[in-house]
Structure 1
Amino acid sequence: MSANVVPLPARRAERAPSLEPMLALTADGMNAVNAVILDRMHSRIPLIPALAGHLIAGGGKRLRPMLTLAGAALCGYEGTRHHKLAAAVEFIHTATLLHDDVVDGSELRRGKAAANLVFGNPATVLVGDFLFTRSFELMVEDGSLKVLRILSNASSVISEGEVDQLTAQRQIETSEERYLSIIGAKTAALFAAATRIAAVVAERPEAEERALDDYGRNLGIAFQLVDDAMDYSSAADEMGKGQGDDFREGKMTLPVILAYARGSDEERTFWRDAIAGHRSEPADLARAIELVNGHDTVAATRARAEHFAMRAVDAIAGFPAGAARSAMEEAARFAVARRS
C-alpha cells in the first residue's frame, strides 16, 4: 500500500484546519445521536451505564458518528434513520476502545484513568460486549440487511485487525505493508462503514456508496498514522493517553518501522531490544524519540498521512459542492494537522 506522497494543499492560509465546519454541519443530528446513546446505555445493572458513561462522557471527537451524519447530508438525505445508525457506530467504537484498554493494560484514555483501572478488567470487557450488543440491536431496528452487512462486516474486520496487531507486537521485522494492513482493518474499516451507510440510507447509487467508503477508509488510515506519530511527538496531556504507550507495548508503528530501516547497526540493536521489551525505562523512551526525530520518521509518517487524506478528499470530488463536502474535506485536512 506504499505510495508516492502527494502534498495536501492548504485550504486557507489564514487558519489551521478545523473540525468546526463538521461540528456545525452535524450539530443538530449529533444532539439526536447523543440522545440515542444515553437511552441505549441504560441498564437495570448500575455498573453498565456507570462504566460505559466513564468513557463515553469522557470526551472524544465522536468523528465516526459525525461521518455518518455528514455523509447523509452530502447525499441529500433528510430523514432520521441515520441517527440510530450513527449511535450504533459510536457503540462499536467505544466497545473496541474498552477491549483495547484491557488488552494493552492502558492507564489513560481521553485524559482520564482508563476504565479497566477504575472498574477492573472483567467488568470492562463485559460492558464492551454489552455495547456491541446494543449496536446490533440498533442495526436490526433499522431493518436494512445491507446496513447490517456493512456494519457487521466492519466489526469482524476490526477484530481481525486487532488480533493481527497483537501477533505483530514485539515483532521487529514487521513491514510497512503489514502495518498499513493492520491499521486499515482496526481503524479505517469503521471509518469506511460509518460513511458508506449514509449512502445506503439515502438510497444512492452503488458508485456513491463506494466513493463514501473510499473517503472514510483513506481518512481512517490518515487518522491512525497521525495517532501513531503523536505517540513519539506529543505529551500525554495533549493526546489523552500516556506518551510512549506504543513504545512500551512493543507496537511496530510506522515511525519505528522507518527508524529501524534507516538506523545504524547500533540503533537497530537498540530497537530490537526495545521492541522485545528489554528497554522500557523513561531514558529508553527518550532515546527512541531522539532516533525517530533524528531520522525524521514522525515527519515521514505525517507525510504519508497527508497522502491518504488527499485520497479521501479526491474520493468525494464528484459530489456537489456545498457545506457538506467542504466540511468533509476540511475534516481530512484536520486529521493530518492535529496535534492532539
Structure 2
Amino acid sequence: MNILNISENTSLALREVELGLKGKFDWKFSSPELKGSTFHLLDFSGKMLRPTLVFIGAEAVGLNSMKYVDLAVAIEYLHISSLIHDDIVDHDTVRRGTDAVHVKYGLENALLAGDALIARAVFTSSPYGEGVMRRISETAFVMCDGESLDYGVQNKSVSINLKNYMIIAEKKTASLISTSLSIAAIHEKICQSAVEKLSSAGEDLGIAFQVRDDIINSIGSVELGKRPGKDDIKFNRPNIVSVLQLEGKERREATEAAIDLMSNYVSKALKKLSEFEKTDSIRKTIMTYFDSSELRKYL
C-alpha cells in the first residue's frame, strides 16, 4: 500500500484489510485450482485505494474506520474480481507485477475466480444490511456494463469519442470508487445530501483515476506504474489521450489536456469533500496520489 498521509486509524484499518482478504473466513475450497486462482492477486498487494476511500468516507462523517474493515474487504474483493475479468477481456498478461490470473491458471479458472470473489463480496457485506448489499450489487452490474462498452470500442461496435469515453470511465471505474467513498454513510443512514455529495465526489475521483491511468499508459512510464505489455493505443482501447487526439490535438497537447482534466476532477472532488470533517487529512491523502507535477515530468 503506497498511499501516504492517511490517519493512524485508517492505517490500522488498512492493515486489518490486508490480513482479512485471505483470512477473513474459511473459504472451504474443494478445488485447488479455484483456491489458487482466487488467491493469486490477493498475494500481490495493490494500491488499496478503494479500501482507503471507504475509511476516508467514514471519517469524513465522523465514523470510526475500524467498524468498516469487513466492508472494505468486500469492496476490495469486488475490485479484484474486476481486474481478473478485465485482463481476460483485454488479453493482458501481467497484473501487479505477476502473471494475470488467466495466464497462470487458465481462462476457465480465472472466470470462476472472478465470480467467486463477487460472491464473497456480497457475502462479506451482508452483515451491513440490505442498503449496503443493494449498492454493492448495483455497482457490480454497472461495472460489467462499462466493461462491455469498453470491449465494444475494441471490436469497433461502439464508437470512441469523448462522450462515450466518459460514460465508460464512469461505469467501469468511477462507480466502484463512488461506492467506496459513500458506503459507510449509506450503512449508517447519514442524511441523503451527505451520501449524494460523497458519491458525487467519488465519481469525480474515479474519473480522475481513470484519466491518470490512461496518461501513464500513454506516456509509457513503468516508473509511474505502467504494466509491461499494456498498450491501449495498439489494441484500440479507450484512452483519454488518444480520444483527445481524435478531436484534433497533437499528442503532447492531448496529454497536457488530459493532465488538466484529471486535476479539474480532483479539484471538483475536493471542493465537495471540503464540507466534511478532517478536510486537511483528506486533501493530503488524495493529492499524494493525484500529483500532476509528477506526470508533467514525462512530457
Indicate whether the TM-score tops 0.5. Answer: yes
Q: 1:71-86 counterparts in 2 under 5 A?
A: 71-78=57-64, 80-86=66-72
Q: Provide the secondary structure at the position in 2 that maps to 1:252.
A: coil
Residues 244, 115 of structure 1: alpha-carbon distance in 2 compared, 3 angstrom cutoff: closer
1:85-121 CA-to-partner distances (Å, cap 9, x unmatched) read: 1111000000000011111111111122212111111
| Secondary structure at the counterpart of residue 219 of structure 2 | coil
Tell me which residue corresponds to 1:103: 89
User: Residue 55 of structure 2: which of 54, 69, 94 is its match?
Assistant: 69
Higher relative contact order (CA 8 A, sep 6+): 1
CA drift of 1:170 comes to: 5.0
- Aligned partner of 2:152 in structure 1 is 167
Moved more, 302-311 or 44-53: 44-53
- Distance apart, 1:20 and its partner CA: 1.0
Partner of residue 213, structure 1: 199
SS at match of 2:290: helix
Aligned equivalents of 2:93, 2:66: Cα separation in 1? 38
Match of 1:29 among 13, 18, 32: 13
Match of 1:310 among 267, 271, 278: 267
- Inter-partner Cα distance in structure 2 for 1:141 and 1:245: 41
- Whether the 8 Å contact between 1:236 and 1:243 is mirrored in structure 2 is no
Q: 1:219 to 1:331 in 2, by over 3 A?
A: farther
* Within-5 A mapping of 1:280-291: none
How many Å separate the matches in 2 of 1:111 and 1:327? 30
Shift, 1:168, TM fit: 1.8
- Any gaps of 5 or more consecutive residues in structure 2? none
Indicate yes or no: 2:131 matched with 1:146.
Answer: yes
Counterpart CA distance in 1 for 2:242 and 2:86 is 21
Kindly provide the amino acid, as one letter, of the partner of residue 20 in structure 2: V
Instruction: Please state if 1:137 is matched with 2:123.
Output: yes
How far apart are the structure 1 equivalents of 2:39 and 2:162?
A: 36
Contact 1:230/1:239 (<8 A) preserved: yes
Q: Is the 8 A contact 1:67 1:195 kept in 2?
A: yes
SS at structure 2 position matched to 1:56: helix
Pairing 1:297–2:283 present: no
Deviation digits for residues 236-255 of structure 1 (CA, Å, limit 9, x no counterpart): 46425125521222113211
Q: Which has the larger radius of gyration?
A: 1
Aligned in 2, Cα 1:50/1:326: closer, same or farther, shift over 3 Å? farther
2:288 is aligned to 334
Does residue 38 of structure 1 match 2:38? no
Which consecutive residues of structure 1, in runs of 5 or more, have no partner in the other structure? 1-17, 264-290
Query: Which residue of 159, 163, 169 corresponds with 1:183?
Result: 169
1:118-137 paired onto structure 2 within 5 Å: 118-137=104-123
- CA contact 2:179–2:202 (8 Å) conserved in 1: yes
How big is each residue's C-alpha offset from its partner over 1:111-135, in whole Å with a ceiling of 9 and x where there is no partner?
Answer: 2221211111111111111000000
Is the 8 Å Cα contact of residues 111 and 237 (structure 1) preserved in structure 2? Answer: no
| Cα drift, residue 202 of structure 1 | 3.5
Identity %: 23
Residue 36 of structure 2 aligns with an amino acid whose one-letter code is: A
Cα deviation for residue 329 of structure 1 reads 1.7
Q: Deviations over 1:21-47 (max 9, x none)?
A: 127451111122223211247442333
One of 172, 183, 187 as aligned partner of 1:197: 183
Q: Structure 2 CA distance, aligned partners of 1:77 and 1:161?
A: 32
Query: 2:208 aligned with 1:222, yes or no?
Result: yes
Q: How far did 1:52 drift?
A: 2.8
Secondary structure of the corresponding residue to residue 262 of structure 1:
coil
Give the TM-score normalised by structure 2.
0.89
TM-score w.r.t. length of structure 1: 0.79
Preserved CA contact (<8 Å) 1:211 1:315: yes
- The alignment's C-alpha RMSD in Å is 2.2
Q: Name the amino acid aligned to 2:135.
A: I
Distance 1:96 1:90 in 2: 10
Asked if the contact 1:235/1:243 (under 8 Å) is kept, the reply is no
